[in-house]
A and B are shown apart, each in its own frame.
Chain A
Amino acid sequence: MTEHLSTFQVKQLAVRALPEDEAVAAVVHTTKCPSCHERFVEELRSQRGSTPFSFTLEPEFWFRDDHVDFDLLVELADKTLDEETKEIVNIHLKTCETCREDVRSFLASREATAREVNISYVRPEYHDTHVGTTQWWQRLQSRPVYAVATIVLLALAVLIGVIALKRSGPLEASKQDQRNSVTERGPDIYPSPAPDVASSPSSAADSAKIAILKDRGGEVTIEKDGRVTGLEEVSENSRQYIARAVLSERIDTAEVLKRLSTEQSGLRGNDDGPQGFRLLYPVRRVVTEDRPVFRWESLPGVSSYRVYVLDAEGNQVGQSEELPPTQTQWKAPPLRRGQTFSWVVTAMVDGKKVVSPSASAPEMKFEVLSTADTQELSRLKKSNSYLALGVFYARVGLLNEAEREFQNLIKLNAHSELPRKLLESVRRLRKQTN
């Protein structure tokens, strides 16, 4: 380009509106033409106007638009991120509430679905990969060489199979039976491997009473094969849990408590705000009521409080009105049973917002007892069994209540070790989860 730039070209170059090649040619020209360069610089200045030059090197500014995408969420959940990237993600999360909630929600979803990923809900025909089979066969039609090779391989496999069957027929058949019986059992409802406690008439001969306990409603007997007598009004499901606890002489950690006591992800950033205040109830526990009364410590100098309740996805499901400084409790709106929630209280002190739990503290989670468990509890309360109630409470994560029931059971069975062992087991769990 030997000619001077037109005014329009100069403007286009300044606002980066020239096509690449024209822009390059224009710049090459300005490097040799002081007058055109001067016009270009003037144009840049006039576009900028009088805005003073300022910039920041704060990483929060630099990473504020680098949102956490799906792949990064997966890496976070899988704990495969290196330390530097984790630090960068933390920086972004400090300023991006949406991403904070994305992370929180994703980790909660991982926890909630952790068990079900190994459970099959599909009908058997989907395991047969019927669509895939059709395509596989169709693909062979277009590749005769592969088709011939496949037929030969299939024939070989059949031949080997026939020989093997002749040699070890009964054994294989037995293995097949075992596989079928496993398949037919369906999803395992137990959170951890349980002793086989299914009642079976054929095993009666092997039975032996391993525990006889005095209970509020009479005598309860647990046999070696897991049969429980004396609690006929209690559901089969609950009887199985009772047998399992008695046979193992301990209470397993309730899954819900593992979920609620999950440590913070380390991704919520540091907070340098004023001194916080403690939330008192509910604190990482299960509540039986669907309208729990939230309680928290009072904070000196506070002008008002506000309570927020969030579901596991991070969506706000309840919010109090502005509460006076004298009020340190608030009754939630009805919450969905069987769901995990978290709650946050904000306090205004000298015009500043103090949030509890703070950004760097773990979420304050709780779970509302599910409808099915609430119904079961109501049935068990009528059973007059400390043992049944104790095991139930422990299973659903209500450890205080479980402790109370086992203490009552000890009073009735002063010379039996079993109730004490169950009580100790519950107390150990409390320590672990607190």
Chain B
Amino acid sequence: MDNVLAPYLNAKDEEERQQHLHELLMLRAAPLVRNVLLRRLGFYVSAQGINENNHDAEDLYQEAMTRVVQELNQLQSPTGTEIENFELYVSRVATNLCTDFLRAKSPARTRLKYSLRDLLKRHKDLASWEHRGELLCGVAAWRDTGKSPFSDQPYEDIEAKLDSFKSLHFADEDVRLAPLSQLLVELFDWISGPVEIDVLVRMVAYLLDIKDQPLASLNDPSLIIAANTQSSESHVEANELLARLWQAVIHLPAEQRDSFALGFKDEAGQDLFSILLAAEIVSWDELAHGMGRSLEDVVRLRLRMPMDSAGLADALGASRQNVHKWRFRAIRRLKTELKG
């Protein structure tokens, strides 16, 4: 466990613990989160987490801080995960949020990132590697070295320099028609050192004039999903349906049962255990028995339900692909059982 967390974890009382929590958040986590938002997305938030002109930035800041607080709260329980390096952990939380945000907001740039990562992996002269929690890239000869100071400058300055890069290296040809590998090599040569993948993506997107243009939807997924929904008109029907579902679930092979039950959410978004308990289909002990687990385990699992695939993979100690397969098989089997 990182030593910076010791005062918080060893606090004598709740008041002291809150004091240390406040310090950890304000003095260590907040500056890091602000820095990551600025570097990854160009989003600025004040020390109080405010940017009245950019609510996305405020939301991301709040979300990152909330996740950090939740993790710190979990540290108090014996099953809480160890944090070896608190600052690295905070950076990862914020970086992951930025990645998710970019993916949602900027599909074209995400696709460019995928293409670049793939090319960096396949081209013998290029490489990408993890370095202190960041994904860096450059020519293969730089592998495993730290990043150049280049990416620490404000992105606006980088953009201005990219114009001169373009006129210098691609004076006689359209940079958009040049092989992508050649463009990367020229860029790395110009930067003279490794750079974070996200910075590279922004640079290449700028040079190739890649901008997001939302596609008009060509189909309507809600139509597919709305069909075949099993719903209940009355309380009695609901309980019958639930009881049949539960009986079918507990007879599934263990992995399929877990993948389905722990990831289940009804149309209102509620988890299976809460629904079963509220409908008094099962007691806590029956729930534990049906899931083949101890009461303590079931209570702990419920705190994380409904789980997404990543959460399930973590809880079951399996790969996401295996979780998908188990869930897929469970659904097929349950469909047959509930029809009968």
Contact = CB atoms under 8 A, between A and B. Distances in A.
Interface string B285-327: 1000000000110011011010011000000000011001101
B219 interface: yes
Interface in B118-143: 118-119, 121-125, 139-143
Contacts of A121: 125, 179, 181-182, 185-186
B74 A102 contact: no
Given A23-B299, A88-B328, A44 B177 contact: no
A263 interface: no
B218 interface: yes
Contacts of B180: 112-113, 116
Interface string A109-144: 110110011111111001111111001000000000
B229 A56 contact: yes
Interface in A17-42: 18-21, 23-24, 27-28, 30-31, 37, 40-41
A406 to B, nearest CB: 30
Contacts of B122: 113, 117
B192 to A, nearest CB: 11
A371 B177 contact: yes
Interface stretch (A93-101, A151-159, A174-182, A412-420): A93-101
B263 to A, nearest CB: 8
B79 interface: yes
B241 A53 contact: yes
A65 interface: yes
A232 interface: no
Contact of A31 (B108, B119, B284, B325): B284
A50 to B, nearest CB: 10
Nearest to A104: B111
Contacts of B168: none
Contacts of B63: none
A328 B310 CA distance: 48
B114 A54 contact: no
Interface in B199-222: 210-219, 221
B285 A31 contact: yes
A117 B139 contact: no
B53 interface: no
A106 interface: yes
B77 A20 contact: yes
A313 B108 contact: yes
B233 interface: yes
Contacts of A130: 141
Interface stretch (B2-10, B43-51, B159-167, B266-274): B266-274
Contacts, number: 250
A48 B268 contact: yes
B153 interface: no
B145 interface: yes
Interface residues of B, number: 97
Contacts of A94: 221, 224
A310 B284 CA distance: 54
Secondary structure of the B side of the interface?
helix
B55 interface: no
A234 to B, nearest CB: 23
A54 B266 contact: yes
A30 B287 CA distance: 14
B238 interface: yes
A424 interface: no
Nearest to A130: B141
B225 A64 contact: yes
Nearest to B275: A53
Nearest to B328: A88
Given A74-B118, A97-B215, A313-B108, A21 B280 contact: no
Contacts of B334: 57
A302 interface: no
Contacts of B216: 308, 316, 319
B62 to A, nearest CB: 18
A94 B224 CA distance: 9
Interface string A51-95: 111111111111111110010011001000000110110000011
A315 B212 CA distance: 7
B228 A117 contact: no
Given A88-B324, A117-B122, A316-B213, A52 B278 contact: no
A21 B118 contact: no
Given A53-B242, A96-B221, 15 more contacts: A20-B303, A27-B295, A41-B278, A51-B268, A70-B114, A88-B328, A102-B114, A110-B118, A112-B180, A116-B181, A117-B119, A128-B141, A308-B216, A315-B108, A371-B174
18 contacts: A24-B296, A24-B300, A37-B284, A55-B266, A67-B103, A85-B321, A102-B114, A118-B124, A120-B124, A122-B185, A127-B125, A127-B141, A131-B142, A310-B215, A316-B214, A355-B219, A359-B218, A371-B177
